[in-house]
Structure 1
Amino acid sequence: MPISAVVYREGHHALGVQVVWRGPDGTERDRVRMRPLGAGLDRWTAAVRPDGVGEWSFLLEAFDDPYLTWRDAVTKKLDAGQGAAELANDLTEGAALLHGIVWQGRASEAALIRAAVAALRDDGLAVAERVAPALALEEMLWRQPVRRLVTRSEAYRIRVDRTKALFSAWYEFFPRSEGAQLPHRSGTFRTATKRLVAVAEMGFDTLYIPPIHPIGRIHRKGRNNSLIARPEDVGSPWAIGAAEGGHDAIHPELGTAQDFRDFIAAAAGLGIEVAMDLALQCAPDHPWVTEHPEWFTTRADGSIAYAENPPKKYQDIYPLNFDNDPEGIRAEILRVVRHWVGEGIRAFRVDNPHTKPLDFWHWLIAEVKRETPDVIFLAEAFTRPAVMHGLAKIGFTQSYSYFTWRTSAAEMREYCEEIVASAHYMTPNFWPNTPDILHESLQHGGPPMFRIRAVLAAMLSPSWGVYTGYELFEHEARPGAEEYLDNEKFELRPRDFARAEAEGRSLKDFLTRLNRIRRDNPALHRWRNLRFHDSDNPAILVWSKKDPDSANTVLVACSFDPGAVQWATVGLDMPALGLGWDDKVRLRELLGGGEHLWSAAGNALRLDPFLYPAQIFVVERADG
């Protein structure tokens, strides 16, 4: 983690600056000396590397460094040709300074320091010989400096998450649809377990499941968000709560608490982590409605206000009101989250967090991470940029994004450059589709567009995800809406994946390949290393990522046109690839195969959306 600061002092004496780095337990872990960033700028920089998850802290200490002041003066006088007579005071002062270091008890360096003191006091030696041992102490006394007149900054807190907070591949399915039998026999955790193998085979490491709690019966929605439900309609999982229980209960049709634990264990055995939905809203028959009516908003006519996003109405959902009993509602929600953490959940997808008080989230996330620092919170907040950034700053680990609505190369480049600028606190997660969102590009772009959006999401963002059915090219929308027809939010939707794969109507192999490329190339595990390159075709976006800790570099070119072959001449930013402008690169293509030799300019590229709408290259320096 890079740290920089402006630090200065009066006069010409040497200044030292250190980062004091403390671990989650509050103990000091390290002191890292900062170096000046350019002459005369008074800006200092250092890098620290935490080695564990949790809340770390650091502060800066600035101090007078008498050894550096002495060394600088002596070096300049020697360079000017001055002799022992002119340096007499410097030799005496240097010996006294170093003798004081020995007296302070630096045992491991005592021998070197004593030798330097003896040399400075030995007037039988030439002046250069007298000062040489003391000047040779520079590196040792840089790491363990003599510090006087120490001043300190305030302490700054840094939350350190596990790697998966940055790099992850998400897959979403409804457990009740897996193994379901129409018209209304729900799937269970046991039947959904059978689907886990396919999820793992595609390379997804996080499985997000919508709410698994009892679903309200009062004002239950029917198919396609109908206001009138038939007896067999299963309702929306986000209408949480019924006589069987609320946010800490499991829908009886899905199975028991033990079935849920077995489901989590089976997923873990395949390398998949289960992420739960945290939706803080209630059906009218949720137990909280009768037990804590003060947690809801009462309208002028005495009724409880249901959720609205005008002109949309959600009569099956009551939003929570945090104003009347903030302490009580906070304590209950913390209890609910602790319950699921106790069941083995370490990732939550939070529904509409921007509709709840931000200070509540700040408190809740801090409380949960204080006890269980590896928990991840993904914000499902398609809202104004300032609010999304605010949620990230108060503690949300990841966030849904505007990726879905960036449909040209120029728009995508501009958006990703904005993300890189805020990557020190915000980690977007790119989803081409969700149960709520079926963008018109997928409605009309055919299978090539599904490949295009998958490449963009998987190769641009370290974290990405898809909602089930994406691999089957599901694209039928409800008329006049940006969402699926026969939406799975309101009905069971079992799918015949095996038949689709046998008939060649599946994107499974393509998604598997993308996730394998992501896994095998550490350059794709980060945000801040994203760099764009020039293309003379506005329908083609070209970018690269270089891993700072290895030689791995990936270059991607992706077309935004699902209907026609596109050509481009590409210019490479060679320094972004870690190369010189006159170097050549060998590109090893990972989708269609083959190798290419490119230089900084004039590189021809052809993308066929009906074959591969993108090319993904591993970049290697060409010999000769």
Structure 2
Amino acid sequence: MEALASASCGAHAAFNRFSYGVRVADTQAAEGGPATTRSRSTGVRSAQARRTSKKAEAWTPVLGRIPILDLSPQQPDDLWPAKAFDGEVVPFGATVFKEGHDVIGAGLVLTSPTGRIVRRPMVQVNPGLGRWAASAKVDEVGPWTWRVEAWLDDWGTWLHDAGIKIPAGIDVELMFEEGARLLERAAEEGTRGEDAPALFRDTAGALRDAGTDPQTRWGIVTEGRVADTIALAPIASLLTHGPVRTLRVERLRAGYGAWYEFFPRSEGAIRHDDGSWTSGTFRTAALRLPAVAEMGFDVVYVPPVNPIGRTNRKGPNNTLTAGPNDPGSPYGIGSEAGGHDAIHPDLGTEQDFLDFLDAAKRLNLEVALDIALQASPDHPWVQEHPEFFTTLADGSIAYAENPPKKYQDIYPLNFDNDPEGSYAEMRRVFQVWIDRGVRIFRIDNPHTKPLAFWERLLHDVNAAHPDVIFLAEAFTRPPMMRGLAKVGFQQSYTYFTWRNTKEELTEYLVELSQETADYMRPNFFVNTHDILTPYLQFGGWAAYKIRAALAATSVPVWGVYSGYELVENVARPGAEENIDNEKYEYRPRDWAKAAMLGTTLAPYIARLNGIRRSHPALGQLRNIHFHWTESDAVIAYSKHLDAEFTGTGRPDTIIVVANLDPHGVRETVVHLDPTAFGRLPGDSFVVRDLITGARWQWGADDYVRLDPFTEPVHVLVVEDDQDH
């Protein structure tokens, strides 16, 4: 591919002649649109052009000489830039075509934030539809610009026509003369090495030698040095530049990482004989961080750490009456101790929080902070800024509800009463935490706030702090979920938790990896403190292993809520969440005992995260390919990365085969498409299970037996890739 990239670069140099040559057709659309009709001698518009100027100026063509349309990546409405992350391999595409039967070519030109130019040749992936594609690895953070160039491949067109006419004895000498003139033109360009001009002139003379038989002359241009030299850069004209698009490339953690959620107040919490509690603190929570790092996580996410209100405080399991020892929900933010910029006194001081951040950093962990833009009835805003809320006809403030659910401990914010005042305060709150060192925010229920508010806030924050990342916790309708991603949220929760069947998973992952991949990055949390699906409630250990393996291998970002590794699967009756929910009470866990008894999935999770770090193919979103299996309960997919993008000089291919039935053994045949990972259809290859270490010789059709009570998922690496 390096040779191809060099060839593309050489081709571009050759194109400069045509961009600025004498042919009007060549100069049209050099910057994306047709040039104004001008006199060739003076550059002044002709009389005919002046006579029709009023009418002409009312309409401006957008197409160049060669149409370049349907660009990707870009957002569907092109209101905001498409997204990528540092190290992502991005597929670029365009529909490029021309009237008639001429041969055309296309190339990708990227400009990095530092001005570095990257050129990639494009290939036709669907000739009938004129679709051209190229992939490039973006390796600088910041705004990249890109465009597609297209050209008429004059030499390729001549080869095609001559290859038909000369063997048939049609216009033989005329065709050789046309070819000779093209070679002489290429010699004048001088862009293919110092030996090329002489080679081209000599070959032009040989083509005109009517004393040599046509077959011999034809062989001169189709074999050997001439063909190899022209391959460095096409002999071309009608160079056309497509429109410029912007690609916003963010830091690695915006698009890749493993998240772990836990409640600091539960870590180290102590219950006393009289029923009272001593809360865990940032200091005791820091003792949990080494175990989180050992499991291979990159981000520690903590719920809101603000003071919690007393009025209408919820008790255990969301009861309406809290006892004197109940800590309340951390989402009921605000008390006499402060609001969104304050730290709950039970958790420690501001310095304790800063020390917690430092402890995480020493373990290569980042801390993500939950921000919930809502208030308890005791929040200082209620007295200081009543305009931030909705006042009902009886003079009371409306509390949050999602009928039939009611949240009496929370007042939602109204961003329409005082848009500028409320915006300024919210922006201030985020800045407080940014100044304290937080660079990742998980936003609670962003879909209940105006999209225009988020567009403004995310733009303002990222303009000042490009490294800040926002995760949208929005389990809501697709237009809002997608809208939040479009306006700037770097990541989004998804419907993954409720997609369990082969059909559901396949359809959803195709959507995420293709339809919305240019702007929406999925974060596959397997559970949350709010969500415990029936699949997990009744699937036992197998279900927990299956869901973790699927999340960790199908997308670049995944996460778990603490307790998952202990297979905490008992739900509160009538609810899709854990009983004795940690959101309403302290929940200390005996991690050491679970490790001693072997009743933890921590080693399995660590193995999954280790596999992710060792195999760059799993760090990409768009490269998932599904393969057919004969069982509706078994799903199979591969993720492949070409050698030029892995950083190891070898391709990387992972094949995942999962039994989605946590209750029974499944046997089936997996029908692989080896071309999806760079193989020929009939190839055989060695695969190794990265979970068990077992090896098999595989090919296009492979028998599998997956037992949910031992190992329900194969995570296979194609071992032959190291020599392939």
TM superposition score category, shorter chain reference:
0.7 to 0.9
State the shift of 1:199 in Å: 0.5
Q: Are residues 135 and 339 of structure 1, via their aligned partners in 2, closer, same or farther at CA, if it must alter by over 3 Å?
A: same
Tell me which residue corresponds to 1:251. Answer: 344
Q: Equivalents in 1 of 2:230, 2:590: separation in Å? A: 71
Q: Which moved more, 1:43-52 or 1:444-453?
A: 43-52
CA contact (8 A) 1:436 1:483 kept: yes
Q: Equivalents in 1 of 2:128, 2:632: separation in Å? A: 43
Q: Equivalents in 1 of 2:703, 2:333: separation in Å? A: 56
Q: Are residues 66 and 293 of structure 1, via their aligned partners in 2, closer, same or farther at CA, if it must alter by over 3 Å?
A: farther
| SS of equivalent residue, structure 2 residue 552 | helix
Q: Are residues 4 and 260 of structure 1, via their aligned partners in 2, closer, same or farther at CA, if it must alter by over 3 Å?
A: same
Runs of 4+ in 1 over 6 A off after TM superposition: 10-16, 63-98, 116-123, 125-128, 131-137, 145-148
Tell me which residue corresponds to 1:52. Answer: 140
| SS of equivalent residue, structure 1 residue 368 | helix
Q: Equivalents in 1 of 2:106, 2:627: separation in Å? A: 38
Cα deviations across residues 368-388 of structure 1 (Å, max 9, x unaligned)?
Answer: 222332322221111122322
Counterpart check, 1:340 vs 2:405: no
What residue ranges of structure 1 are gaps of 5+ in the alignment?
none
CA contact (8 A) 1:162 1:374 kept: yes
Query: CA RMSD for the aligned pairs?
Result: 3.6
Cα deviations across residues 446-498 of structure 1 (Å, max 9, x unaligned)?
Answer: 22322222222223232211111111221222111111221111111111111
CA contact (8 A) 1:20 1:28 kept: no
What is the 5 A alignment of 1:153-552?
Answer: 153-182=242-271, 183-422=276-515, 423-549=517-643, 550-552=650-652
Q: Are residues 155 and 298 of structure 1, via their aligned partners in 2, closer, same or farther at CA, if it must alter by over 3 Å?
A: farther
| SS of equivalent residue, structure 2 residue 718 | strand
Which residue, out of 22, 25, 42, partners 2:111? 22
Q: Equivalents in 2 of 1:577, 1:15: separation in Å? A: 28
State the shift of 1:179 in Å: 0.9
Tell me which residue corresponds to 1:588. Answer: 688
Counterpart check, 1:557 vs 2:657: yes
Tell me which residue corresponds to 2:37. Answer: none
CA contact (8 A) 1:54 1:370 kept: no
CA contact (8 A) 1:233 1:491 kept: yes
State the shift of 1:606 in Å: 3.8
Q: Kindly provide the amino acid, as one letter, of the partner of residue 619 in structure 1.
A: V
Counterpart check, 1:612 vs 2:719: no
State the shift of 1:389 in Å: 2.4
State the shift of 1:274 in Å: 0.9
Q: Equivalents in 1 of 2:566, 2:550: separation in Å? A: 18
Q: Are residues 605 and 82 of structure 1, via their aligned partners in 2, closer, same or farther at CA, if it must alter by over 3 Å?
A: same
CA contact (8 A) 2:682 2:700 kept: yes
Tell me which residue corresponds to 2:10. Answer: none
Q: Equivalents in 2 of 1:604, 1:11: separation in Å? A: 51
CA contact (8 A) 2:186 2:197 kept: no
| SS of equivalent residue, structure 2 residue 536 | helix
Q: Equivalents in 2 of 1:15, 1:504: separation in Å? A: 63
Tell me which residue corresponds to 2:49. Answer: none
CA contact (8 A) 2:180 2:204 kept: yes
State the shift of 1:92 in Å: 8.1
Q: Are residues 596 and 373 of structure 1, via their aligned partners in 2, closer, same or farther at CA, if it must alter by over 3 Å?
A: same
Cα deviations across residues 187-240 of structure 1 (Å, max 9, x unaligned)?
Answer: 111110000011111111111100111212222222222222222221111112
State the shift of 1:275 in Å: 0.8
Q: Equivalents in 2 of 1:271, 1:429: separation in Å? A: 20
| SS of equivalent residue, structure 1 residue 253 | helix
Q: Are residues 494 and 43 of structure 1, via their aligned partners in 2, closer, same or farther at CA, if it must alter by over 3 Å?
A: closer
Q: Equivalents in 2 of 1:84, 1:113: separation in Å? A: 24
Q: Percent identity?
A: 48
| SS of equivalent residue, structure 2 residue 307 | coil
CA contact (8 A) 1:212 1:237 kept: yes
State the shift of 1:413 in Å: 2.6
Cα deviations across residues 289-335 of structure 1 (Å, max 9, x unaligned)?
Answer: 33322222222222221111001111111112222322332233233
Q: Equivalents in 1 of 2:686, 2:432: separation in Å? A: 53
CA contact (8 A) 1:570 1:605 kept: no
| SS of equivalent residue, structure 1 residue 597 | strand
| SS of equivalent residue, structure 2 residue 581 | coil
State the shift of 1:67 in Å: 9.0
State the shift of 1:556 in Å: 2.4
Tell me which residue corresponds to 2:48. Answer: none
CA contact (8 A) 1:70 1:94 kept: no
CA contact (8 A) 1:67 1:97 kept: no
Q: Which moved more, 1:448-457 or 1:76-85?
A: 76-85
Q: Equivalents in 2 of 1:558, 1:96: separation in Å? A: 59
CA contact (8 A) 2:187 2:201 kept: no
What is the 5 A alignment of 1:41-120?
Answer: 42-60=130-148
Cα deviations across residues 126-164 of structure 1 (Å, max 9, x unaligned)?
Answer: 798xx999998745655xx9877x765443221112333
Counterpart check, 1:5 vs 2:94: yes
Q: Are residues 187 and 286 of structure 1, via their aligned partners in 2, closer, same or farther at CA, if it must alter by over 3 Å?
A: same
Q: Equivalents in 1 of 2:112, 2:489: separation in Å? A: 21
Q: TM-score, normalised by structure 1?
A: 0.86
Q: Equivalents in 1 of 2:254, 2:198: separation in Å? A: 52
Q: Equivalents in 2 of 1:394, 1:45: separation in Å? A: 27
Q: Are residues 61 and 185 of structure 1, via their aligned partners in 2, closer, same or farther at CA, if it must alter by over 3 Å?
A: same
Tell me which residue corresponds to 2:16. Answer: none
Q: Are residues 86 and 276 of structure 1, via their aligned partners in 2, closer, same or farther at CA, if it must alter by over 3 Å?
A: closer
Cα deviations across residues 351-370 of structure 1 (Å, max 9, x unaligned)?
Answer: 11111122222222222222
Q: Kindly provide the amino acid, as one letter, of the partner of residue 568 in structure 2.
A: E
Aligned residues: 611
State the shift of 1:175 in Å: 0.6
Q: Are residues 567 and 158 of structure 1, via their aligned partners in 2, closer, same or farther at CA, if it must alter by over 3 Å?
A: same
Q: Which moved more, 1:28-37 or 1:514-523?
A: 28-37
Q: Equivalents in 2 of 1:291, 1:344: separation in Å? A: 27
Q: Kindly provide the amino acid, as one letter, of the partner of residue 163 in structure 1.
A: L
Q: Kindly provide the amino acid, as one letter, of the partner of residue 254 in structure 2.
A: A
